[in-house]
Amino acid sequence: MTATIDPDLILRVAAKGDGVTADGRHVAFSAPLDRLSEDGGLIKGPHHVEAPCQHFQSCGGCSLQHLDAESYAQFLTDRVAYALEGQGLAAELLHPPQVSRPKTRIRASLRAARLGDQFKLGFSGAGSHRIVDLQQCEIMAPELFDLLAPLRTFLKTAARRKHDMNIEMTLVDQGIDLLISNYEPEGLEQREALSDFAKANGLARLSVDGGYGPETQWEPEPVTVTLGGTPVAFPHSAFLQPTHEGQQVLISAMREAVGDARLVADLFAGLGTFTMALAEDQKVYAAEGARDAIGALKMAANHSTRQIFCEHRDLFRRPLSAEELNRFDAVILDPPRAGAREQVLQLAQSDVAKICYISCNPASFARDAKQLCDAGYKLRQVWPVGQFLWSTHVEIVSSFSR
C-alpha cells in the first residue's frame, strides 16, 4: 500500500519563506512538519521555535526566525539545489551551509522619520514602507545597535515631518562609519552639532548626503577596512561582506577552488576582499567597475608587497575576452545579484582551468552555471553561506573546472 500524505502537513519552506503544504498551499511563518488545523490555524511541529525578537513578523529584517537550526539549514541547501535543478544541474559536492551567528552583522541600512509627534528609527516593515521603531535586534553587531538610542535622540531634533532619512552604519577599523542620507544640516550650528555627536559617540566617520553625494562632517583619521592584513581605504557606501565570519567562510572556499594557481583574475573585485586574501606569491589582476572601490584597492596594493594589477573596467559593457582570459590559471568572479551573463559567455569560450564563482542570487548563479557547464566545465563543489541570518538570502561559492 502507498502511504497517503496528510494534505495539511507543511513539507518544506519555499524560496520566499512560506511553508508549503503537501497539496501546494503556501502558509506564512510556518515550519516543516507544522500542520494546518481544521479551522485554518497552525499546529506547530518539532521544527517550529519561538522567535527571539519582539519585532518578528512586523519587521522586514528577518522572516525565518521561527525555524530551528536544522530546518533553516535545509532551507538554504534547498534554495541552491532547486535553483541548479531548474537548469538541469547538480554539483558533484554540495556542502552543508555555513550560517553566521546572531548579532554579528557589521553593516545595516535603516530608515528614520518624524510622523506627527512620533519619531521612528529602524527597518522597514514586512511588505510595507512602515518603519518599525527598533527596540531590539538579534542580527546587528552590538556596537551598531548600541548607537541607535543616542542616534534616535539626536535625529529627533533634525528630522522634518514626513521626510524620511536613510541611515547606513558600517563597522570599520576605527569604529562605526555613519552616513545619513536625505538630510542636509542648515547652518553652522547644526554642523557643529553633528561633529559633537560624532565625537561624543566615538564615531570613525560621520557623513551626510543632501542629494548631491556624501559629505564628510567628521573623520579624525582616514577610515579603513583591513583585508588580508592590509588596510584599505573605505569609500562611502562601499560594499563589504555583512559578517566577518561569513567573509572568512567565503575566502576559505575561494582558496580551495583556486588552489595554487599562479596567475589569477579577480573580476568584480570591489575593495579586494578576495584579491587581498590570495597568497602573496600569487599574481592577481583585479577588475572593478566602481571607480572609488578600485581606486582604494589600487592604493592599498601599491603599499603592499603583493603582485596586484588593478583596472577600472565595466565588466558588463566590456567583459574580458576569451583571449584575455586564457592568460590566467584561475578566475574569480563575484558579480552583483544580476549575475555575470556577458562575462560568463566569454569564460565559456576560454581555456581557463579553474573558475570560482561567488554569488548572492541562486537564480542568476544557476543560469550562469548552465552556460559554463554547456561549454564543458564541471560544477565540482558548491558551498552555501548564510550571512543574512533568518532571511531568505543565501550566498554561494562554487568551483568549476574542465
- Per residue in 128-152, pLDDT (tens digit) is 888 999 999 999 999 999 999 999 9
- Confidence band, pLDDT 50/70/90 cuts, at residue 3: low
Residue 70 has pLDDT above 70, yes or no: yes
Give the β-pairing of 107-115 and 165-172. Answer: antiparallel
- Computed over every residue of the chain, the mean pLDDT equals 95
Task: Measure the CA–CA gap between 46 and 61, rounded to whole angstroms.
Answer: 24
Residue type, 349: Q
Residue 29 has pLDDT above 80, yes or no: yes
pTM of the entire structure?
0.93
Which residues are registered as beta bridge partners of 121? 112
Q: What contacts 366, CB < 8 A, 6 or more positions away?
A: 83, 84, 86, 87, 89
- Report helix, strand or coil for 267: strand
CB 39: neighbour CB atoms within 10 A?
5
Kindly name the residue from 59, 310, 360, 373 that is annotated as catalytic: 360
Beta strand residue intervals within 136-271, DSSP E: 165-172, 175-181, 205-209, 215-218, 224-227, 230-233, 263-267
10 Å CB burial of residue 317 (0-12, 13-18, 19+) is exposed
Do residues 147 and 178 touch, judged by C-beta distance below 8 A?
Answer: yes
CA dihedral 171, 360, 22, 32 (to 10 degrees): -30
* Tens digit of each residue's pLDDT (9 = 90 or more) over 156-206: 887 665 578 999 999 999 999 999 999 888 888 888 999 999 999 999 999
Q: Is 62 a catalytic residue?
A: no
Q: What contacts 66, CB < 8 A, 6 or more positions away?
A: 29, 30, 31, 48, 49, 50, 51, 56
Phi and psi based region of residue 390 (left: phi greater than 0; alpha: psi -120 to 50; beta: remaining):
left
381 sits in which H/E element: strand 378-386
Chain centroid offset of residue 74 CA: 20
Chain centroid offset of residue 48 CA: 26
Hey, what's the cell of 70? 536544522
